């Protein structure tokens, strides 16, 4: 496991501003060759820091629903299910889950039938209460802050330092804060995989 250096953070900041920025432009800004920038970006993707490159649409120029901010007070036993449902829902643009289980999302819904549109997104019987606000404007400006930027352990959620470990398990790369977490994760993965194989027999 390697620490992210100043150049990595610069590259991430430049990509956050414009994910389509050519490697040659990035190389001019960070003082590396374009192939070296490409290698670093590949490594950042391999380590799971960059998950995907997206298109930042100005939704105000497009038709397709009324922009709303929805706050859901979800019953505790349904928080994960509601989050997973909203994560893949087309109208949902941004999704947040607070530590107390409140789910907030920004979406474009049919303004004439907001409750119906909301009920199509999520089962309202899983929700104690909800609030819908019209959005006048929205901006998404991700930043990279070097002081608070760290990988999270796939097992316990703690910060992964330079003493941490990385391992490829089941074709995916995972990061761990210590060898104990790596061992627990691998053991659980092996048990689940063995159970899946025995279920196929």
Q: What's the CATH code of the domain at 175?
A: 2.30.170
| Segment 100-122 mean pLDDT | 82
| Segment 1-18 mean pLDDT | 79
Looking at beta carbons, which pairs linking 166-171 to residues 24 or more positions away fall under 8 Å? 166/1, 166/47
What's the residue count for the chain? 201
Coil vs helix vs strand at 73? strand
Is 139 part of a structural domain of the chain?
no
pLDDT tens by residue, 127-149: 999 998 888 776 666 666 554 55
Looking at beta carbons, which pairs linking 94-97 to residues 24 or more positions away fall under 8 Å? 94/140
Pairing mode, if any, of strands 165-169 and 159-160?
unpaired
User: What's the structural domain count of the chain?
Assistant: 3
Confidence of residue 63 (pLDDT cuts 50, 70, 90): very low
Q: Could you count the other beta carbons within 10 Å of the beta carbon of residue 45? A: 14
Same domain, 47 and 66: no
Same domain, 125 and 65: yes
Same domain, 69 and 123: yes
pTM for this prediction: 0.47
Is 105 part of a structural domain of the chain?
yes
Same domain, 40 and 73: no
Q: What are phi and psi of 61, to 5 degrees?
A: -90, -5
Structural domain boundaries enclosing 15: 1-55
Is 11 part of a structural domain of the chain?
yes
Is 68 part of a structural domain of the chain?
yes
Is 162 part of a structural domain of the chain?
yes
Same domain, 67 and 127: yes
pLDDT tens by residue, 23-51: 999 999 999 999 999 998 888 888 777 77
Same domain, 46 and 63: no
SS (H, E, C) 25-72: HHHHHHCCCHHHHHHHHHHHHHCCCCCCCCCCCCHHHCCCCEEEEEEE
Question: What end-to-end distance do the CA atoms of the chain give, in Å?
Answer: 38
């Amino acid at each position: 496991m390697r620490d992210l250096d100043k150049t990595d953070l610069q590259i991430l900041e430049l990509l956050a501003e414009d994910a389509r920025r050519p490697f040659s432009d990035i190389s001019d800004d960070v003082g590396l060759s374009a192939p070296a920038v490409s290698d670093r970006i590949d490594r950042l993707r391999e380590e799971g820091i960059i998950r995907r490159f997206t298109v930042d649409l100005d939704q105000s120029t497009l038709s397709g629903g009324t922009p709303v901010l929805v706050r859901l007070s979800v019953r505790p036993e349904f928080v994960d299910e509601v989050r997973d449902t909203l994560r893949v829902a087309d109208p949902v643009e941004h999704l947040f889950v607070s530590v107390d289980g409140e789910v907030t999302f920004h979406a474009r819904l049919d303004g004439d039938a907001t409750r119906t549109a909301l009920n199509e997104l999520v089962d309202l019987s899983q929700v104690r209460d909800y609030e819908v606000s019209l959005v006048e404007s929205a901006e998404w400006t991700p930043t990279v802050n070097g002081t608070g930027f760290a990988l999270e352990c796939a097992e316990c959620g703690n910060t992964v330092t330079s003493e941490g470990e990385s391992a490829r398990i089941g074709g995916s790369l995972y990061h761990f804060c210590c060898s104990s977490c790596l061992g627990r994760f691998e053991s659980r993965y092996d048990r689940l995989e063995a159970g899946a194989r025995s279920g196929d027999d």
